[in-house]
Copies of this chain bind each other. A is one copy, B any other.
Amino acid sequence: MTQVSIKDVAKIAGVSIATVSRCLNDPERVKENTRIKVQDAILKTGYSPNTLAQSFRRGKTHVIMVVLPSVGDPFFTDVMRGIRSVAAGRGYSLLINETQFTTMTEDEVGAMVVSRQADGIVLLASMSPFGTRVLSAKSGRTLPIVVGCEAISSDLTAYPSVHIDNVAAASEATNYLISLGHRRIAFIYGLEQSLLTKDREDGYRAAMQIAGLEIENGWVAEGKLSIKGSIEATRSLLNHHKRPTAIFCANDEMAMGCMHEIKSAGLRIPEEMSIIGFDDIRYAEIMDPPLTTIYQPAEDIGERVMYRLLYEIEEGRSVGAEPEIVPHRLIMRRSVARLAI
């Protein structure tokens, strides 16, 4: 009943435990004859190495910790698909750590690093600004970290990262609305205490300013990265004394709530209100009307993040801290219309 160990196999095969270990890890180095005896013993006993002992001995867990704001967001689901596929192909498991959109503190990240539960960390969540050396300061330990998406404070540039140019993409979306005659453009951002959509807000503000357009008080509303939150934000926008003619939502999930509220208020999209989203999640094209949005190569981002992380883990040296910028694309569907004069 008790778990069979390498000793049992060795005894049955009539060899030392070192030889059993070699058969498993470096079969070339053992004589075929011996190998066969060991194979038989393994089969007979149903032996399988204790991964806990292996991890401990080797100092490697073969698990990657992924920190992300919300597993429920379809966008992060797509990023995760990319992460998962390369992890699986290379024999790594994933430990998922959800922050629920809160900003991680130094201590939280430090605790993860110190816990040794993983060989590396993928950070998709936003962190409060802190120095670049916090992770190594704590008990002298460091862990490879790669950052994905824009989920990071701007002064934390010491880590490699993979993301689109969020500022440029948001400017592009805003300029698209402007080019269609819109002057009153509102923005629904994510969460007050999160940096997650900060770059997008910056891009929106920059585009408005360059176009010489005023942003009225109240046109930038908090959508809390949720359907409910964006419904409330939209309501306040619709009641604004200078009602906008277009709303730019910092992600598609919020655009879904936004569109629902607009339709509930009896307004037609896009004739009476233009909507633009961000991410191009799988629901975007089946919304009613289909949502104009910024496409991010989510799965590709996940894959690239993992390639860089595994490189650092397995080569033992840094891949460099220059961010890898992947292309975005404005997807024009039917939630945006030229402003009727």
Contact = CB atoms under 8 A, between A and B. Distances in A.
Interface stretch (A10-18, A41-49, A144-152, A304-312): A41-49
A71 B73 CA distance: 10
Nearest to A1: B140
B52 A59 contact: yes
A84 B95 CA distance: 12
B98 A95 contact: no
A1 to B, nearest CB: 6
Contact of A48 (B46, B61, B97, B115): B115
Contact of A116 (B51, B61, B63, B231): B51
Interface in A171-219: none
A340 interface: no
Interface in A201-260: 227, 231, 256-257, 260
Copies of this protein in the complex:
2
A72 interface: yes
Nearest to A74: B72
Contacts of A231: 286
Contacts of A77: 71-72
Contact of A2 (B4, B51, B140, B288): B140
Contacts of A332: none
A260 B288 contact: yes
A332 B99 CA distance: 34
B288 A47 contact: no
A318 interface: no
Nearest to A136: B1
Contacts of A46: 138-140
Contacts of A282: 72, 227
A3 interface: yes
Contacts of A61: 52
Contacts of A24: none
Contact of A4 (B4, B59, B140, B260): B140
A196 B116 CA distance: 36
Nearest to A65: B93
A120 to B, nearest CB: 15
A95 B84 CA distance: 12
Contacts of A48: 114-115, 139
Interface in A72-96: 72, 74, 77-78, 80-81, 84, 93-96
A50 interface: yes
A265 interface: no
9 contacts: A47-B139, A50-B56, A51-B116, A52-B55, A52-B116, A56-B56, A63-B117, A71-B80, A96-B96
In order of increasing CB-CB distance, the 4 nearest A-B pairs are A46-B139, A72-B77, A260-B286, A56-B56
Given A2-B140, A52-B61, A93-B97, 14 more contacts: A3-B140, A4-B140, A46-B138, A46-B140, A48-B114, A50-B116, A53-B56, A71-B71, A71-B77, A72-B77, A84-B98, A93-B117, A260-B286, A263-B288
